[in-house]
Structures are given as structure tokens and as C-alpha cells.
Amino acid sequence: MIASIDPRTGVTVEELDVAAEDLDGLGGQAQGARQELAEAGRAGRAAMLRAMAAALEDRRADLVATADRETGLGLPRLNGELTRTAFQLGLFADVLDDGGYLEATIDHPGDTPMGPRPDLRRMLLPLGPVAVFGASNFPFAFSVPGGDTASALAAGCPVVAKVHPAHPVTSVLSRDALLAGARTAGFTTDVVSLVYSNETATRLVQHPDITAVGFTGSLRVGRMLADLAAARPVPIPFYGELGALNPLVVGRAAARNRGAQIGDGLAGSFMLGVGQFCTKPGVAVIPSGVDGESLVRALVDRVTAAGAGTMLSEHTADAFAAGADRLRGVPGVEVLARGGAAPADGFWGSPLLLKAPATALDGPLLEECFGPELVLVGYDSDDDAVATLGRFGPALTASIHADDDDRPLATRVLAQVQHTAGRIVWNGYPTGVAVAWATHHGGPYPATTNALHTSVGASAIRRWLRPVCFQDVPQDLLPDELRDVPSQPRVPRRVDGVLA
């Protein structure tokens, strides 16, 4: 039995009757799905993804109501998230139509200084069945029907998804919608299946038929699973999208010229979704003294006016409370503002604005605290600001607010965060990750366990593919995309070194 709990009340609303789980059938089932995904080709998989998006839309009311009841994230946000999730499935259908993701490369036979070169043709092929661990904070966009699943299916990899205990019924309904879409598109196998318990999920990461893992969640669990994946007899790639402090730096001129506006924006960003974003700005490096005052005042006003928000689960609320206590306990840390108190029942988090001297930056102040909390650190000079920024570890994002007079600082900050961040935001806030071709959602460890690839954006598909090179293979035995005269519209290819 898995409990579906309403976080607004803490009450178990429903119990999912989950049959005893075994993974014995995984190999055979995944093999069938893998073959069907391969035989469908890019066009067939694109049609499947679009049908899945339509199926999610068809079931929107039920999905969103269920997710709201399980997560407390509210209908507007969840409606937006479902839109995003359907859009994302469509983006990967576009990626398939385009075909550039295959990296099709052809070298015709030729002479080289080392002698004759054979005919060589390279493209990417799917790895095989993959495991996906969804996050609590995005019951659609980073869970069963989310980016990992969409990109893996696009690549041709069947998905076994771990149900997050914070939204089990949403997960089951999402899986049903995806499979209904697949059926509409003519698929007969279960291209997505679910596992429920932590114990089964652990065995899943170690299962010989699983070829890669996508994970969104905490550093602690992500690292544990990454270590398991690396220690397998056959190690497999583990794409863990974990979390980050996501530092934000405000230039002195920007603070002076539009401090209240930045304070408002920053308050909105760190309290968005009750601070439950992996891209939440956890620390802001701001000018000390009078230049920073209007920014701080705006933040204090917004936080003081804010009520407590429902958090995703008892675990999340408890972890936030404990994290906030740890932060407040660091010598030198000062509470600037608190939001309204939490109700007695349910799982709640109250916004918290802290201030810390740069000299205190250590321990809890260098770790992500998942929830509506922001630490301000003042700087006197540009050197101070750069040194403070250098104290923080790598992150998913780094943000800079700068006006013209801040260019010297901004240039230094940009040069620095190119080594430590996956996305660099100018005069904006890091929450909100666009589903687009140019998006990169990742960053050096501990932001992710694999900084080379992304968990959002078109190139997320690259995680589930490996290159294969065909040497002198006859035309009719080659994949269509590598033939001299493909039967399908030609994909972007590099031929004899030239992209065309």
C-alpha cells in the first residue's frame, strides 16, 4: 500500500494497492518495447510523443486536480506545468523530425597520408531501457511524463519510472495517459512502466537490463544512486540533476538605480512555489551600505507580507525547518524577516530572509536549503564580491544584475561563473527554465552528477544515445539516415567534414 497524502492537511486521502514488485519480467518487456520504438523510426516516435501530449491535455482536469491534492502546488502553477510537459513532448517530436540529434556523419573512402581510408558512417543509436527517478517538486515536468521520459522515449529507450511517494496517484494517472497516447499512435508495448518502492528502485539501478539512469532530487539520494550505478559490474551513466545554491550578484549601480525592483523580483523568485525549485536563488551577494538598502527593504517587505506555504511533503517541510534552524544557528547570521506562521495541520514552510557576513560563509551557508529561504551577503568592493562568489561551489545557475557602471564587476563575475555554473542569467532570476533548443539545465557537481549533458532542452536526448560507426557496410543494410539516398527527408549530416 502506498499512501497518497494531502500536504495541506497531512491526511492520507487514498491508498494505492501496489502488487508485490519484481523485476524478473523487465528484460523481456523492455526488449519488446525497445524493438517497437526502433521499428517505429523517428517519425513513429514523434507521432507517439505528440499523441502522449494530446492524451495529457485530454486528461488535464483530472491530472491537475489530483496533483494539486497531492502536492499543494495550486491549480495555476500545475496547469502551467502540464502545459509545459505537453510542450516538452512536442519539442522532442520536433527534435526527431529534425534528425540533427543523430549527429549523422559520413566520410567517403579516400586517400590519407596513412593510406586508403574506408567508407565510414557514424550516427547515434539508443542505449536501451533506462530508469527515471522523478522529483517531488514537479509532479509533471520532472516526473513520470517529464523531460527524462520524453527525451528517452524520443531516443528510442523504454522507460521504467520510479514513482515519487509525494505524488503516487498523479504518477499512475500520468503513466496511464502516456500509454493511452502510445496506443493511439499504434504502439502495443508498455514503453513506460512504473516501480514504486525504494527497495525496488535500488535494484532497478543495478538491474543488468537498465542502461542509464535519469534522476532529479537531492544530493544525498542522487549521490547514493550514482555510486551504485558506478559500482555495477557494468557501470552505466547516471544523470543526477541535484540542487544548488544558485548565487545571484547585484552590482552597486544596479542596486542604487533599481534596488526595490530587484528586491521584488528576487523575493518572487526565492519564494516561488514555496522555494521548492532546484534553481531557487539561495544566496544573493549585494552591495553593503546605503546602496543596498532599497533592495533589502523591498525583500523585507515582501517576506514579512508573505504567508506560510504548503510544502510538498512532511519530509520536505521537516527538512526545511531543520535547514532553517541550522542557518540561523551559524554565528553572525541575522534574521532580517520571516513570513507568516504555519497552520498546525499539514506540511508548511514560512519564508525566511537571512543576512550573513562573508566571514561566516561555511558549513550550512554553503549548502542548498530546499525551501523559501534566502541569505544576503554584503560586499564592499568588487574584489570582495568576486572573492565571496568564489566561496560558493558549482551551481545550476549564476545570476548577475548589472547596470552600465557595474560592467567591470560583471565582466569578472561572468569570467568566473563560466567555470562553475550551467546557466548564466543576466538581469533576471534563475527560477524558470525554458523548454527550448538552447537550454542547458545542469552544472558541475554537486549541481549535477554529469555536467556534460543536460536534463532540460533539446540536447537532453543526447544522454540516452551512443555512437556507432559503420565501416564499408552496404547501402541497403545501413540505417536510412546514413544512406547516400535516404528514403526519408534528409537529416543534417556532416559529409567529408562539411556540415550540410
Smallest distance from the beta carbon of 121 to a copy of itself, in angstroms?
6
* Nearest-5° Cα angle at 191, 189 to 195: 115
CB distance 230 to 253 below 8 Å: no
Encoded amino acid at 247, one letter: P
CB 299 within 8 A of CB 353: yes
Q: Does residue 489 touch a copy of itself according to CB under 8 A?
A: no
Closest CB to a copy of itself among residues 6, 368: 368
Q: Which of 227, 325, 334, 383 binds a copy of itself (CB under 8 A)?
A: 227
Give alpha helix (H) positions in 401-446.
407-417
> Does the CA dihedral 323-328-332-334 come out positive or negative?
positive
Q: Treating both helix axes as pointing N-terminal to C-terminal, what angle do 198-206 and 219-231 enclose, rounded to 10 degrees?
A: 40
- 213 in Cβ contact with 225 (< 8 Å): yes
Residue closer to a copy of itself (CB basis): 239 or 320: 239
If one asks whether residue 58 binds a copy of itself (CB under 8 A), the answer comes out as no
Q: In the annotation, is 14 catalytic? A: no
CA dihedral 167, 173, 177, 179 (to 10 degrees): 100
Known catalytic membership, residue 469: no
Angle between helices 147-155 and 26-58 (to 10 degrees): 120
23 or 414: whose CB is closer to a copy of itself? 414
- Reduced to 3 states (helix: H, G, I; strand: E, B; else coil), residue 369 is coil
Candidates 36, 241, 368, 373; catalytic one? 241
Query: Does 485 contact a copy of itself by CB under 8 A?
Result: no
**Which residues face 120 on adjacent strands?**
107, 471
Among 113, 331, 487, 489, binds a copy of itself (CB under 8 A): 113
Any contact of residue 122 with a copy of itself (CB under 8 A)? Answer: yes
Q: What are residue 209's phi and psi, to 5 degrees?
A: -85, -10
**How far apart are the C-alpha atoms of 344 and 342, rounded to whole Å?**
6
247 lines the binding site for a copy of itself (CB under 8 A): no
Among 170-178, 226-234, 306-314, 326-334, the segment contacting a copy of itself (CB under 8 A): 226-234
In eight-state DSSP terms, residue 310 is E
Find residue 376's DSSP bridge partners.
284, 355
Using CA atoms in the order 6, 323, 244, 63, what is the torsion angle rounded to 10 degrees?
0
The span of 183-191, 234-242, 250-258, 266-274 binding a copy of itself (CB under 8 A) equals 234-242
- Mark the segment that binds a copy of itself (CB under 8 A) among 166-174, 266-274, 359-367, 415-423: 415-423
292 to 261, 297, 357, 383, 403: CA distances (angstroms): 12, 9, 14, 17, 14
Find the binding residues for a copy of itself in span 59-88 (CB under 8 A): 80, 83-84, 87
Q: Does 209 bind a copy of itself (CB under 8 A)?
A: no
The identity of residue 71, as a single letter, is T
Site for a copy of itself in 427-456 (CB under 8 A): 427-428, 434-442, 444-446, 449-454
Which three cell numbers, joined as nine digits, stand for 100?
540533427
Least Å distance, CB 465 to a copy of itself, is 7
Burial pattern 149-173, b for ≥16 Cβ within 10 A else e, equals bbbbbbbbbbbbbbbbbbbbbbbbb
Binding of a copy of itself at residue 490 (CB under 8 A)? no
Which range binds a copy of itself by CB under 8 A, 110-118, 184-192, 285-293, 345-353? 110-118
The number of CA neighbours under 13 Å toward the Cβ of 462 is 16
For the bound state, the minimum distance from the C-beta of residue 245 to a copy of itself, rounded and expressed in Å, comes to 15
Under rule CB under 8 A, residue 472 binds a copy of itself: yes
Q: Note if the bond before 372 is cis, omega within 30 degrees.
A: no
- Which is nearer to a copy of itself, 387 or 473 (by Cβ)? 473
Range 307-326, binding a copy of itself (CB under 8 A):
none
Is residue 55 a contact point for a copy of itself (CB under 8 A)? no
Q: Between 64 and 179, whose beta carbon lies closer to a copy of itself?
A: 64
Could you say which of 36, 157, 278, 369 is catalytic?
Answer: 278
Nearer to a copy of itself, 45 or 121 (CB): 121
Q: Which CB atom, from 226 or from 324, has the smaller least distance to a copy of itself?
A: 226
Q: Which of 198, 381, 411, 488 binds a copy of itself (CB under 8 A)?
A: 411
- Distance, in Å, from the CA atom of 485 to the CA atom of 279, rounded to the nearest integer, reads 45
Determine if 387 is a binding residue for a copy of itself (CB under 8 A): no
**Shortest CB 452 distance to a copy of itself, Å:** 5
Q: How many residues bind a copy of itself (CB under 8 A)?
A: 81
Q: Which stretch binds a copy of itself (CB under 8 A): 109-117, 194-202, 312-320, 330-338?
A: 109-117
DSSP 448: B
**Which residues form the catalytic set?**
241, 278
